[in-house]
Structure 1
Amino acid sequence: IAEEIGRLAISEGWESFIAYGRGEPSSESNLIKIGGKESMYINALKARLFDNEGLNAKADTERLIKEIDRIKPDIVHLHNIHGYYLHYPTLFNYLKDKNLPTVWTLHDCWTFTGHCSHFELVGCEKWKSGCHGCPQLKEYPKSFGFDGSERNYWLKKEYFTSLQRLTLVPVSEWLGNLLSSSFFGQKDRIVIRNGIDTDIFNLNTSQAETRLRMGCQPTRHLILGVASVWTKRKGFHDFIKLRNLLSEDEFEIMMIGLTKKQIDELPQGIKGICRTNDIHEMAEIYSAADVFVNPTYEDTFPTTNLEALACGTPVVTYNTGGSPEAIDSETGAVVEQGNVRQLKDAVIQICQADGDSYRQKCRARAVSLFDKRDRYQDYLRLYDNILSGK
């Protein structure tokens, strides 16, 4: 997202710098590397031992501050700052001292909890008043046992709310509503949803050919599930249950993103694929499906829903996080979290309906609401409004 916003900003006369902590990306923006692989591993180990993600990498962050001071930006745009490469007290002290306008896109809940990036699955609400006794120390960012959640919560509140010129950008209404109940309650915020490339993710008329190439039967309804990693939180076991509730003669399930071990353990009637790195092939698969099922238990605003819609495929999802915001009653269905029978009923209802009508309405919704060019333009408008004092 940062790269593509930077590219758009450059095209409109801005100068763009991107500071990053991992990998070796190529970019049209000016790149600033924060630390290195060795320091990242050391910071990760410290976080595992002391549950202090974001409180390491002080020297690396001080070097970053010198670069920012040299650049003298008009605006600073933060994304995920967790990832074992940044010391947030140093960064936020600098932003506060310089009174720099700061935009912060929030992709998860880490910013206002004492440890976790998501808490829906365990139903924890300690983040509303003050974290302690964290029930998710084994979840990202994993701790080996030391619980620093109380300290982390109050430090985040102190530093993150210290900026007078901070605008928060949650990527879903759901996340924005959570911010109202967090220590960010009084801070300015505007929802800008994620976007996708609606030229690549597009309607494909060769559904039958794609299904044959993937080893699926063109005469059966195809149900698709996609995840980068399939876990309980992403609904892996719910797909197994769904398979048992649907006729094998009428329905076929394909899951993409599985490990080899998971594929070996799949029941009959589910075709598993490790992954595809070809984005065009992924678009063809979305378009070949009759329905995309996303039984997620924790999500902020999954782009897989948007990709499916852009390819003309209706979405069935649990009422989880911001996932339902991708669709309306004409482009899919939202069912009770964990209710696989409702999931089954929604799948059957969609498969029995007019497929062409669904395809056109799904495509129209994706293009009108989730085209990445429009959403990134929202950020440039936000920058202009902030700098003009609106």
Structure 2
Amino acid sequence: MRVLQINAVYEKFSTGRNVKEMHEVMLSKGIDSFIACPDLDKLKKNAYRIGNKVDWKLHALLSRVSGKQGYFSYFATKKLLNYIGQINPDIICLHNLHSNYINIPLLLTYIAQNNIATVLVLHDSWFYTGKCVYYIECSCNRWKKHCGDCPALKLGNPSFFFDKTEKMLADKKKLFSSIERLAVIGVSQWVTEDAKKSILKDARIIQCIYNWIDLECFRPRDCSELKHSMRLDDKFIVFGIAMSWNSQKGINLFHELADLLPDNCKIVLAGDDSSIQIKHSNVTYLGTIKDIDLLSKLYSMADVFVNPTIQETFGKTTAEAMACGTPVVAYNGTATPELVGLDGSCGFLVDENDPKLYCEKILKIQEHGQMAFGKAARQRAENMFSKENNIQAYLDVYKKLLNNEWSV
């Protein structure tokens, strides 16, 4: 079996780590695995770099001016198609395609014409909307029938002038419908169920496979030395992480929490904090953490992990925290309840992003102690987020597509 994965990043962020880990596992199993990606600094073998910086920037500009996403990078995509023709994959697995680096109609038309079995991975909702990666915050359900009059036109990858969302959704429907052997993988039950109501509902296979966690790296461990080095020995640590801190990721809520929590609590935040204009004195800002081992130690050091994000297709940071035996307090919406559970054994869900409600749940965990939740959190992570089991589930889908076995 020959498998090509296409994604916006490799090794970086959650989707890039998924792609890298799946690539390595497939190679270890004797599967011919290939990667196509615009961001390939280290990987050389079985890898193809899509486009260049000039092409990406031009694509981004044209996208904003025209209002159409994924319709440019024509020559870069033609070169990619030549590469695909050379390696002749049995399966193409499509991850994030909405980062201004690939011509979607050109790619999908080629796939359909060559009858290549294709897997869409729903890391977000972009594959079945006009342009939105998320639609919860703007309370929009237009994607179920047709887009247009987009309330999120200026968000994400914005359009300066034109609303082309109705055309883009219609084009996606036509293009995906032309692919004979199409599977759709949602990384949570929540996004999988929404996909079943969308333009993707007629795919041969639609199923949920949770993202996986490296349970050997992300595990409970003694982090007393790290805690001492950060001068937090006597503190109850509230940990949060985001790729970049802004209002959507809950930075304002964390700052309000810092005013509400008692003095023996300390908030520690990891992630790009360069856009935070006023920093709080009771918050420790660590910046971006690239060292995965250090990230795992930070999760383990924490007494509670807080995730106030209202839009999570999966929530890998929540799953990583649980794998480290750290209880979670998170917003009760989208995919998060599936991860944390509803019985209170792994942490608590909050129905509104009200700092007082978060504070109440955090203090409840402080009262009972992290150990009261840690074992259940770790066990749930082992049951749901096994790398071996969940990557094998992808390989099973690949085999079903190749053998024309549509029932799941």
Q: Is the 8 Å Cα contact of residues 104 and 167 (structure 1) preserved in structure 2? A: yes
Q: Is the 8 Å Cα contact of residues 154 and 160 (structure 2) preserved in structure 1? A: yes
Distance 2:95 2:222 in 1: 37
The residue identity in structure 1 corresponding to 2:262 is S
SS at match of 1:190: strand
Distance 2:122 2:196 in 1: 14
Structure 1 position 252 matched with structure 2 position 254? no
> 1:127-178, CA deviations, whole angstroms, 9 ceiling, x for partnerless residues?
1121112122222212223222122121111112221210001111111111
SS at match of 1:167: strand
Structure 1 position 378 matched with structure 2 position 393? yes
> 1:15-42, CA deviations, whole angstroms, 9 ceiling, x for partnerless residues?
1121112342415x51122222211111
Among 219, 225, 249, the alignment partner of 1:202 is: 219
SS at match of 1:233: coil
The more displaced of 332-341 and 106-115 is 332-341
SS at match of 2:248: helix
- Measured on the aligned residues, the alpha-carbon RMSD in Å equals 1.8
Name the structure 1 match of 2:243: 228
Distance 2:92 2:167 in 1: 27
Name the structure 2 match of 1:113: 129
> 1:258-285, CA deviations, whole angstroms, 9 ceiling, x for partnerless residues?
42462x7223322222122222222111
Distance 1:212 1:94 in 2: 57
> 1:328-358, CA deviations, whole angstroms, 9 ceiling, x for partnerless residues?
2311111113233222221111111143232
Structure 1 unaligned residues grouped into runs of 5+: none
The more displaced of 367-376 and 188-197 is 367-376
**Map 1:55-204 → 2, pairs under 5 A:** 55-187=71-203, 188-204=205-221
TM normalised by structure 2 equals 0.89
Among 351, 355, 373, the alignment partner of 1:358 is: 373
Alpha carbons of 1:383 and 1:133: their partners in 2 closer, same or farther (altered >3 Å)? same
Q: Is the 8 Å Cα contact of residues 310 and 367 (structure 1) preserved in structure 2? A: yes
Distance 1:141 1:161 in 2: 25
Alpha carbons of 1:22 and 1:80: their partners in 2 closer, same or farther (altered >3 Å)? same
SS at match of 2:196: helix
Among 348, 369, 372, the alignment partner of 1:333 is: 348
> 1:104-132, CA deviations, whole angstroms, 9 ceiling, x for partnerless residues?
11111111111221111111111112111
The residue identity in structure 2 corresponding to 1:227 is A
Length, aligned pairs only: 385
Name the structure 2 match of 1:7: 24
Distance 1:25 1:337 in 2: 43
Q: Is the 8 Å Cα contact of residues 121 and 233 (structure 1) preserved in structure 2? A: no
The residue identity in structure 1 corresponding to 2:281 is Q
State the identity %.
32
**Map 1:269-288 → 2, pairs under 5 A:** 269-288=282-301
Q: Is the 8 Å Cα contact of residues 239 and 269 (structure 2) preserved in structure 1? A: yes
Q: Is the 8 Å Cα contact of residues 239 and 306 (structure 2) preserved in structure 1? A: yes
Name the structure 2 match of 1:26: 43
Alpha carbons of 1:266 and 1:12: their partners in 2 closer, same or farther (altered >3 Å)? same
Q: Is the 8 Å Cα contact of residues 245 and 275 (structure 2) preserved in structure 1? A: no
SS at match of 2:36: strand
Distance 1:213 1:121 in 2: 39
Distance 1:258 1:94 in 2: 38
Q: Is the 8 Å Cα contact of residues 308 and 331 (structure 2) preserved in structure 1? A: yes
Q: Is the 8 Å Cα contact of residues 137 and 145 (structure 1) preserved in structure 2? A: no
Structure 1 position 291 matched with structure 2 position 308? no
